[in-house]
Chains A and B, each alone.
Chain A
Amino acid sequence: MSEMHQIQLKIGPAAFRIASAWRRPLEELEALYRDFPSPTDNSVDFTVRLEPEKPWRRYIRPSVHIGGDFWLPDAAPLPLAQGLLAAEMGMNLQMALGWRRHLLLHASSVEKDGKALIMTGLSGSGKSTLSAMLAERGWRFMGDEFALLSLDTGSIFPFPRLISLKNQAIAAMQKVVPDSRFGPEMKATPKGDIRHLVPPKAAIDRMDEPARPALLLFPRFGYAPELREMGQSEIFVRLTQASTNYVALGEPGFHALTRFVDKVPARAMDYRSADQAEELIDDLWSKLL
């Protein structure tokens, strides 16, 4: 086995070791995670490995295979220029398949006044972009990919990794965020055009601070602005679908999720622009107890 380069990252409660056959993806990661702390005691929860698909492909048309403690056999290799994306996908995969300390919801979250707004939905719903946008408008960014629901207290813990902007969201955020917070633009990846955004400093400084969940939204981008009530049964089913570890957690997961559904008001929200979404959210937020 050839020499591997490596770095360690701590994001919220999770510590990662990223090992790579190439230096470049790690240098990009290091630059983007420069304000994040290192794991304190050298112990990590997960290892992600970026390796050549075949030994000679370290040099010739290098192609990155994602490996690690948990992996999917059919994860397609990516070109080396997308090594940063491979590392981020690798970290998400470890969390999705391996994390057991919280109920993991595939959702973005932001905080204000100690209370968390959680947004979940399919890819393209705009949950990631909305969280990034709200983070520039007075909310604390907690995460754009996973909301970590505490099994004991019912609080939401942050996982403020790099924000993964796709396609039109890139230009929208470039208008409001300085260039220094962006990673390299990666064109035509399997997920479309991708550019990573470093979360605001406050999000990183306060990444160990949980918040009480106060509002759950199911955003849907591209429709006339509207808020709709939802039945508890539908909410429960959609949250089990949005959780990658609900089944694995068993009884504690059941208690955490039923408590969440009982306590947290939820709405479906259609919108066509960030301004519309912000208006709907501010109105709902002002009426919360």
Chain B
Amino acid sequence: MTQKYRAAPKDDLIWHGLDSMTLLFHRPSGITHMLADPAPAILEVMQDAALTATEIASRLTASFDVDSDVDAENIVVARLEELSGLGLIARVSG
């Protein structure tokens, strides 16, 4: 079974771009998160779907001109774990 992830519902998040970072206000917790790339891009490509890290990495490649390799996937996995610790994405059983 491969781990899948799903982003927090769209209505729970308010996005605001600053010069070098992205602010995400998470309505249910009232917490403001300040995210650096590629975390905002990961959330953006996930949309409403439950996806594996591999699928997310390939969506990033398609949308953001990122090289798709094992390294990229490892980076995505690390960011997914961080975002899930923040409550911005959830692990779903696949």
On A, residues with C-beta under 8 Å from B are: 231-233, 236-237, 240, 247, 250-251, 254, 258, 261
Contact = CB atoms under 8 A, between A and B. Distances in A.
B20 A233 contact: yes
A283 B89 CA distance: 48
Contact of B21 (A233, A247, A250): A233
B12 to A, nearest CB: 11
Contacts of A231: 18-20
Interface residues of B, number: 12
A251 B30 contact: yes
Given A240-B32, A251-B14, A258-B16, 8 more contacts: A231-B18, A231-B20, A233-B21, A236-B18, A236-B34, A237-B34, A254-B23, A254-B32
Nearest to B19: A232
Interface string B48-60: 0000000000000
B78 to A, nearest CB: 22
Interface of B: 14, 16, 18-21, 23, 25, 27, 30, 32, 34
Contacts of A250: 30
Contacts of A236: 18, 23, 34
A232 B30 contact: no
A251 B25 contact: yes
Contacts of A258: 16, 23
Contacts of B14: 251, 254
A247 B30 CA distance: 7
A253 to B, nearest CB: 9
11 contacts: A231-B20, A232-B19, A232-B20, A233-B19, A236-B18, A236-B34, A251-B30, A254-B14, A254-B16, A254-B25, A258-B23
A109 B53 CA distance: 49
